[in-house]
Chains A and B, each alone.
Chain A
Amino acid sequence: MMENAWIIPLFPLLSFLFLIVFGKRLRAVSAYIGIFLTFASFIISLLVLIARFGSPTYKAEGIWLTIGDYQLTAGYEVNQLNALMLVIVSLVSFLVHMYSKGYMHGDGRISVFYAYLGLFTFAMLGLVLSPNLLQTYIFWELVGLGSFLLIGFYFYKEEAKAAAKKAFIMTRIGDVGLFIGMILLFWQVGSFEYDEIFAAVSAGMISEQMITLIALLIFIGAVGKSGQFPLHTWLPDAMEGPTPVSALIHAATMVAAGVYLVASMFPLFAASETAMMTIAIIGAFTAIFAASIGIVQKDIKRVLAYSTVSQLGFMMLALGSAGYVAGVFHLMTHAFFKALLFLAAGSVIHAVHTQDIEKMGGLWKKLRVTGPLFLIGTLAISGVPLLSGFFSKDEILVSTWVHGHTFLFWLAVVAAFFTAFYMFRLFFMVFTGEARGKTANVKESPGVMVIPMLILAVLAIGAGYVNTPWFGTFLGDWLTEGNQALGHGHVEGPAWIMVVATAVSLLGILLAWLMYGKKTIARDWFSAGVPTVYGILANKYYIDEFYKMTIVKGTTAFSRILHFIEVIVVEGIMKMVAGIISGLSKLGSRFQSGQVQTYGTVAFLGLAILVIFFAVTGGYLK
């Protein structure tokens, strides 16, 4: 089965090409094509995963580009991580395809939408299958392209345009880091192949500092894609795209690509303590930082976006603290419950046609299905026991603690508390209390939207049990088998961590309930109490403004300077030369006075000058 894995990305690609060409005529039908093809690739990925349980890693490659003596290859590889990711990606993508059928219903450009989805899915699957860094980079960029296109799907909205541009450029900044790192690595190893790279690393062919440098550069790439601080600002803005897109790209798959990259390059990172430390710190900081912003957002999707950023921070923290399994595990669970949350949010927006949570409320009764599903997601992400999020987050905390990042551990705990709080704040504001907006004709979403949510909900609950301290850590053992560099399948941590985690999440929920559910605490005690802090949070620490002031302005200013040079120096010199010539011309024609005697004089002077010069230099007048 695995040797056919290459087919998997081709289905969505096919869907893309087909819909781009014929979409105009197909209109709504195109949805079915997209759904069907992604379903096909999901099935095959599932088969591949099953096959992978049985047999070892499979790899196939062909020559792609010859440079002098080097031959760069292209191909595909199926190892544990790939196989797992394949399923996650294709599944979520399939579900989103399905969901969009309802969500995008009646949109004139639905075929384009599905085409883009196809392109993205293709890229994402390709990224997952890549056996070498170069190929990874290629699909890495294509994934970004897909996200760019989908963010800008509502091209006529200025915000969408800006968001798309921002997303592309911000991620590109990260990508350049990856680009440089990749090339440096190539000249160190002489190949882009993962296995050869890891071999070189373990053989100690590369100097310590070089590894660190390369690792950090590659990590910059991950930072860009996974919206880690300081390149996180594009992710919330990316919510301009249609909600299913947010679910697929900006929650479940692409943003996780950064984490995936770090995971798949793990042996390299593990070889550099500094790099690991950096990752952990960035991750932890992003986790708490984003969470703190999430507390005060008023746009349902933005809240989720910041929570995504924060969750990704958790994953990075995990990887940075050698918690390979924890990272990947959380990546998986998060994919499910965050996708669920987004889809649910989408269905809410679909129903009330606004994203402002101030205008919602009391939807629990109206949205009989969406409400509970959203609750499940919320519980999962808050790390309430027995749901998937609980286990994965626990794994992370444990590995952080065990790895000795005490401070980061407590940061993570606080972040977890925030998470629980703002998620339930969201839940209470949307579903409980009395309606603040007009909810007259609010009705539940159609089945085609509900079914995907149901499936995700099941996973959000159950996915955790593949890797638990109680019932065994199948996932971990399987992921790490036959590869020491990835660490152990399961790290034993003190039991109290689990208690603490549970406690903080419950605390968070409680506080949220008191403020937004029961309203025993005034809603604005915080915003009124410490307005400055509130302002800072509401404005996301003014980071966008900061970038605008420094980078954007700086670039423009520099360009202006260069423009000045262009005009003054480059053009100027040319004008000067032209001026000199025409000046000479004028002078010459002025001499041409029409006075014949002047002509004779000039001739005579010419003679005289020559003779005198000759007499002086010729050495005859000694």
Chain B
Amino acid sequence: MDLETLLSYHWSIMTPEFIILGFATLLSLLDLFMPRKINRRILGWLALTGILAATISVFTLLGSAPESILYDTFRLDSFAIAFKLLLLIGAALVMMLAVSYEPRERIDEYRGEFYYLFLAGLLGALIMSSSGDLITLFIGLELLSLSSYILAGIRKKHLPSNESAMKYVINGGISTAITLFGMSYVYGISGTTNLKEMAAFLPTITNNQHLYLLALAFFMILIGLSFKIAAAPFHMWAPDVYEGAPLPVTAFLSVVSKTAGFIIILRILLSIFFNVPDQTGTTSLMLSLQDYLAVIAGATMIIGNVIALRQKNIKRMFAYSSIAHAGYLLVAVTAMSPFLVETTWFYLGAYLFMTLGVFAIIQIVTASADSESINEFGGLYRRSPFLAVSMSILLLSLAGIPGTAGFIGKLNIFMGALATDPAHYILASLLIATTVISYIYYFGVMVQIFFRQAESTKKFPLSPVVGIVIIICVAATVILGIFPNIAFDFLHEQFSSFKDFIQ
């Protein structure tokens, strides 16, 4: 392709990615050439500004007509914008945690990497969110994965950190392979890697063999991607990795990486398999395979909530809780209700705030106690009422108690599951039942906070940055819980319910 075509592209729609990319490179160079003695924390702030800049640029892109460049490999539609927002906000908060993160054995000499790897991962996620081609999807996915592998093991001298990284790599590799294998079949049948062309071509398939192959591909891709969102059956890495990884990384994995996972799942399912007819030809493959999705969703919810009951380590417990939440989201995906995307977006948003808030608090509490046992929360409300109250609000939100964003999100998913015809009664009941189970461990933490006595009564060194994170998260949780229409109106006005999505 010659220069004109290249220049003819409307590059501005890639601004966020460019910004992040730029900052990532900048950081790496600075890290390389800055004198050793200078504290690398400054880079963290730089990264943060980068993310904020990207966020702003996304806002400027709001409402722009869907566009795609580079032969439809990069596509900016409302879906992309909406989810980029989530990713960037999540990343920004994570970065704030990262800035004030200080493990026992210092990580000064590679603190720089710490930050720009975050950016690299974020870049991958952003690309995924607006990629219109299997290849770009894959690249984005891998970019995210590879940087997360390293991030998980960033505490070189910390055995659990290394181990978690190792486990993450191996599982990640396997999942990638499986996903790719599925993708290769999809490519083989459709003869293209471009989602748009696929969407155009696939409905014409009639050959049963090909459909069967596509079904296989569906399963492989689904299982492969269930790794990213930590859903059954590919969930088991999550607890170990979450526990071993440095806390900001855990937060990153449980929020940004999970969001990215759902982005790619929605992209692929909606734009590929939704268009594949099933062998009867009456409905689409996607819908005829709903039950399998339902099984996965159910299993995920049960596993996550049930095993979380026994956990003593707080990070591990929240690993399981995040598995459970992946399950809830899968319910929405399974139901394929007309407002699937809104639902997912809102829930991911709510989940983002409540989870990050919780991790912020965990970071403070565990750092000062340098133990990750739940008992560290004993008598928290005496040592720091602020943390205690914030934590309980966030926990209530996770448990889906009214007045919080979590409740609205669940309500939304729930309605999606019941509004479709036929309604998914069983799945809905399972959702609600497992939610009740989840009360036990969420309230268990609150029991620690309010009913138990503290070993030490010393106050916490509450760094302002983390304080801000907590405040933002709690505020968002409550506001979205009480005035959800803020979010819903925003969705409806800006994204006109994602009509421009390739289907």
B281 to chain A minimum Cβ distance, whole angstroms, is 13
How many residues of chain A have a CB within 8 Å of chain B? 28
Q: Which of A594, A606, A613, A620 has the most CB of B within 10 A?
A: A606
Q: How far is the CA of A610 from the CA of B297 in the complex (A)?
A: 13
Contacts A581-B437, A592-B239 hold; do A606 and B306 have CB atoms under 8 A apart?
no
Is A599 engaged at the interface, CB distance under 8 Å to the other chain? yes
Is A619 engaged at the interface, CB distance under 8 Å to the other chain? yes
Q: In the complex, identify which listed stretch (B132-140, B213-221, B415-423) lies at the interface while the others stay far away.
A: B213-221
Is B240 engaged at the interface, CB distance under 8 Å to the other chain? yes
Assess the A594–B240 pair: CB atoms within 8 A.
yes
B311 to chain A minimum Cβ distance, whole angstroms, is 8
Q: How far is the CA of A60 from the CA of B306 in the complex (A)?
A: 70
Assess the A603–B307 pair: CB atoms within 8 A.
no
Is A205 engaged at the interface, CB distance under 8 Å to the other chain? no
Q: How far is the CA of A620 from the CA of B237 in the complex (A)?
A: 33
Assess the A603–B279 pair: CB atoms within 8 A.
no
Contacts A591-B236, A614-B292 hold; do A603 and B223 have CB atoms under 8 A apart?
yes
Q: How far is the CA of A606 from the CA of B240 in the complex (A)?
A: 20
**Please, which residue of chain B has its CB at the minimum distance from the CB of A621?**
B212
Q: How far is the CA of A584 from the CA of B434 in the complex (A)?
A: 13
Residues of A near B234 (CB, < 8 A) are 599, 603, 606
A598 to chain B minimum Cβ distance, whole angstroms, is 7
Is B171 engaged at the interface, CB distance under 8 Å to the other chain? yes
Residues of A near B236 (CB, < 8 A) are 591-592, 598-599, 602-603
Residues of A near B223 (CB, < 8 A) are 603, 606-607, 610
Contacts A589-B307, A614-B215 hold; do A596 and B233 have CB atoms under 8 A apart?
no
Residues of A near B292 (CB, < 8 A) are 610, 613-614
The one of B170, B216, B233, B279 that contacts A606, using a Cβ cutoff of 8 Å: B233
Is B309 engaged at the interface, CB distance under 8 Å to the other chain? yes
Q: How far is the CA of A582 from the CA of B307 in the complex (A)?
A: 8
Residues of A near B239 (CB, < 8 A) are 592
**Please, which residue of chain B has its CB at the minimum distance from the CB of A581?**
B306
**Please, which residue of chain B has its CB at the minimum distance from the CB of A619?**
B279
Is A54 engaged at the interface, CB distance under 8 Å to the other chain? no
Is B166 engaged at the interface, CB distance under 8 Å to the other chain? yes
Q: Which of A128-183 contact B (CB under 8 A)?
A: none
Q: How far is the CA of A125 from the CA of B406 in the complex (A)?
A: 66
Q: How far is the CA of A589 from the CA of B305 in the complex (A)?
A: 12
Residues of A near B296 (CB, < 8 A) are 610
Is A442 engaged at the interface, CB distance under 8 Å to the other chain? no
Is A62 engaged at the interface, CB distance under 8 Å to the other chain? no
Q: How far is the CA of A598 from the CA of B174 in the complex (A)?
A: 12
A616 to chain B minimum Cβ distance, whole angstroms, is 13
Assess the A620–B208 pair: CB atoms within 8 A.
yes
Is A586 engaged at the interface, CB distance under 8 Å to the other chain? yes
Is A482 engaged at the interface, CB distance under 8 Å to the other chain? no
The one of B171, B212, B306, B307 that contacts A600, using a Cβ cutoff of 8 Å: B171
Contacts A591-B236, A594-B240 hold; do A614 and B219 have CB atoms under 8 A apart?
yes
Contacts A588-B303, A614-B219, A618-B215 hold; do A596 and B309 have CB atoms under 8 A apart?
no
The one of B215, B227, B232 that contacts A620, using a Cβ cutoff of 8 Å: B215
A456 to chain B minimum Cβ distance, whole angstroms, is 70
Is A561 engaged at the interface, CB distance under 8 Å to the other chain? no
Is A611 engaged at the interface, CB distance under 8 Å to the other chain? yes
Assess the B310–A589 pair: CB atoms within 8 A.
yes
Assess the A607–B178 pair: CB atoms within 8 A.
yes
Contacts A603-B227, A607-B223, A610-B219 hold; do A596 and B171 have CB atoms under 8 A apart?
yes
B448 to chain A minimum Cβ distance, whole angstroms, is 19
Assess the B219–A607 pair: CB atoms within 8 A.
yes
Contacts A603-B223, A603-B234 hold; do A611 and B216 have CB atoms under 8 A apart?
yes
Is A605 engaged at the interface, CB distance under 8 Å to the other chain? yes
B436 to chain A minimum Cβ distance, whole angstroms, is 11
Is B196 engaged at the interface, CB distance under 8 Å to the other chain? no
Q: Which of B329-366 contact A (CB under 8 A)?
A: none
Q: How far is the CA of A261 from the CA of B126 in the complex (A)?
A: 91
Contacts A594-B240, A599-B167 hold; do A607 and B233 have CB atoms under 8 A apart?
yes
A143 to chain B minimum Cβ distance, whole angstroms, is 53
Q: How far is the CA of A606 from the CA of B236 in the complex (A)?
A: 12
A610 to chain B minimum Cβ distance, whole angstroms, is 5
Is B275 engaged at the interface, CB distance under 8 Å to the other chain? no
**Please, which residue of chain A has its CB at the minimum distance from the CB of B238?**
A599
Residues of A within 8 A of B (CB): 581-582, 584-586, 588-589, 591-592, 594, 596-600, 602-607, 610-611, 613-614, 618-620
The 8 lowest CB-CB distance pairs between A and B, nearest first, are A606-B233, A599-B236, A588-B307, A603-B234, A620-B212, A596-B167, A607-B223, A585-B309
Query: Can you list 21 A-B contacts with CB-CB less than 8 angstroms, sorted by A residue number?
Result: A581-B306, A582-B309, A584-B302, A588-B306, A589-B310, A592-B240, A594-B240, A598-B236, A599-B171, A600-B171, A603-B171, A603-B226, A603-B236, A606-B223, A606-B232, A606-B233, A606-B234, A607-B219, A610-B223, A610-B292, A611-B216
Instruction: Known pairs A584-B302, A599-B237; list 18 more (Cβ under 8 Å).
Output: A581-B306, A581-B437, A588-B306, A591-B236, A592-B307, A596-B166, A602-B233, A603-B175, A603-B223, A610-B219, A610-B223, A610-B292, A611-B219, A614-B215, A618-B279, A620-B208, A620-B211, A620-B279
